[in-house]
Structure 1
Amino acid sequence: MKGLALRFGVTRRTIHYTIKREKDRRRDTGIRTAAASVTVTPDEMDAFDLAISKHGFGSRADALRALIQATNGIFVPDDHLSGELAGFRAALNRVGNNITQIARRMNEAKKRGMPAPWSDRQYEEIRALAGLILEMGDQADLLIKRRKDAMTVTVNEVLREFALGT
């Protein structure tokens, strides 16, 4: 800035404010100076092209611009999902500790040449525990799929609004 100020016979502050004013003008007039680039698979691109054609966008750039402009309403933290996943994580930690205890007891019994140190009732509890782990995994998967479906609906609504010019 010092070199420009000397060259044009003005203060550095004048150069600073001139640059700032130009940046503001470009922003306010919608002059696009930043670019976004992403690499996707051919299947992902085909799916995107299909989605934007359903909503009447003439180009990928227009659809991406609409999505970028609408990100404040789409990409927000999901407190419910975070809370549910935190609960799953805590439960799985407890289950993991129990499994560690079971494995230790089995190893100790094996080293001593003894049968498994639990009764048939305890064995059924272990089976139930394993079932619980599988069920929790299924529930987490379902939770994530539902969230993805909700995001898809939200994105489709945003695309539809921008395509209609609302």
Structure 2
Amino acid sequence: MTRRLDHTTRQSIAKKVREGVRPQVLAREYGVTVRTVYRCAQLMREIQVERGSRTEVIVCRVSPTDLAQFDAKLKEAGIRNRSEALRNVIRNTNGMAMPDADLAEALLSMKGALNKVGNNVTQIAKRMNHAKNQGQPLPFAEDDLLEMRHLARLVLDFADEADLMARGRRALLELEISDELRRMAERGV
């Protein structure tokens, strides 16, 4: 014989499921089947969704420094509620989370150039290994060594350029987020 559960009991079961209590434990505690526990959790979730309740949780790990900076920005903007601020950022991204087409194009062209440099380095390494295995002196003239130094400098320059582009994109995003936080404060969030 199955037991008929009232609404309050279903809510209690669903809450405990969300808190991480194992369905088997709840089934024994309430004298129902495990399937009933799952159905209670699903039913309560559907009711929450219908009512427009917040049912999803986003977890994001940040460093203490990042969190302190975020809280300082919120305080500066006059926003006291971190969760509401994050919900508003999610609602109002206005393309902030979209990839930067210019940055992507620049990185793609860098990838091609770095592939060419990588091929050259591989050829140099093959020649050096072959000479070493044969017991011969390195088959490079002074011009070859200069070219290798030039390639090394090129790789370092690419790395610096990529770093500058990433920093520029981050600075732009910080400005957009600061502007959005200011608008949220003006709306009274």
Structure 2 length normalisation: TM-score?
Answer: 0.69
More helix by share: 1
Bigger relative contact order, structure 1 or 2 (CA pairs below 8 A, ≥6 apart): 1
2:126 equivalent to 1:104: yes
- What secondary structure is seen at the aligned counterpart in 1 of 2:139? coil
Cα drift, residue 23 of structure 1: 5.0
In the alignment, the residues of structure 2 paired with residue 37 and residue 137 of structure 1 have an alpha-carbon distance, to the nearest angstrom, of 32
Number of residue-to-residue matches in the alignment: 144
Give the Å deviation of 1:66.
1.6
- Residues 132-156 of structure 1, C-alpha deviation per residue, up to 9 Å, x if partnerless? 0111111011111111111111111
CA 121–38 in structure 1, closer or farther in 2 if over 3 Å, else same: closer
Q: Aligned letter for 2:68?
A: D
- Could you list the runs of 5+ residues in structure 2 that have no partner in the other structure? 1-45
What whole-Å deviation, never above 9, does each CA across 1:111-147 have from its counterpart, x for those lacking one?
1121111211111111101110111111011111111
Q: Percent identity between the aligned chains?
A: 37
| CA pair 37-121 structure 1, distance change in 2 beyond 3 A | closer
Other structure's SS at 1:36 match: coil
Deviation at 1:62, TM superposition (A): 2.2
Alignment map for 1:141-156 (pairs within 5 Å): 141-156=163-178
One-letter amino acid of the structure 2 residue matched with residue 159 of structure 1: L
1:134 aligns with 2:167: no
> Does residue 1:114 correspond to 2:136, yes or no?
yes
Aligned AA (2:142)? D
Task: Tell me the amino acid that sits aligned with residue 134 of structure 2.
Answer: R
In structure 2, distance between residues paired with 1:40 and 1:122: 47
* Contact 2:77-2:181 at 8 Å conserved across structures: yes
- The aligned counterpart of 2:60 is 38
Measure, in 2, the Cα distance between the counterparts of 1:36 and 1:108: 55
Partner-residue secondary structure (3-state), 2:94? helix
**Aligned equivalent of 2:85, options 35, 40, 63:** 63
Moved over 4 A (4+): none
Structure 2 contact 79–185 (Cα < 8 Å) conserved: yes
TM-score scaled to structure 1, two decimals? Answer: 0.78
Distance in 2 (CA, whole Å) between partners of 1:94 and 1:163 is 50
Q: Name the structure 2 match of 1:14.
A: none
Using a 3 Å threshold, how does the CA distance of structure 1 residues 35 and 107 change in structure 2: closer, same or farther? Answer: closer
Q: Which residue of the partner structure matches residue 95 of structure 1?
A: 117
Query: How far 1:65 moved relative to its partner?
Result: 1.7
C-alpha distance in 2 between matches for 1:141 and 1:111: 39
Q: Which has the higher mean CA deviation after the structures are superposed, 42-51 or 98-107?
A: 42-51
For residue 74 of structure 1, what is the aligned residue in structure 2? Answer: 96
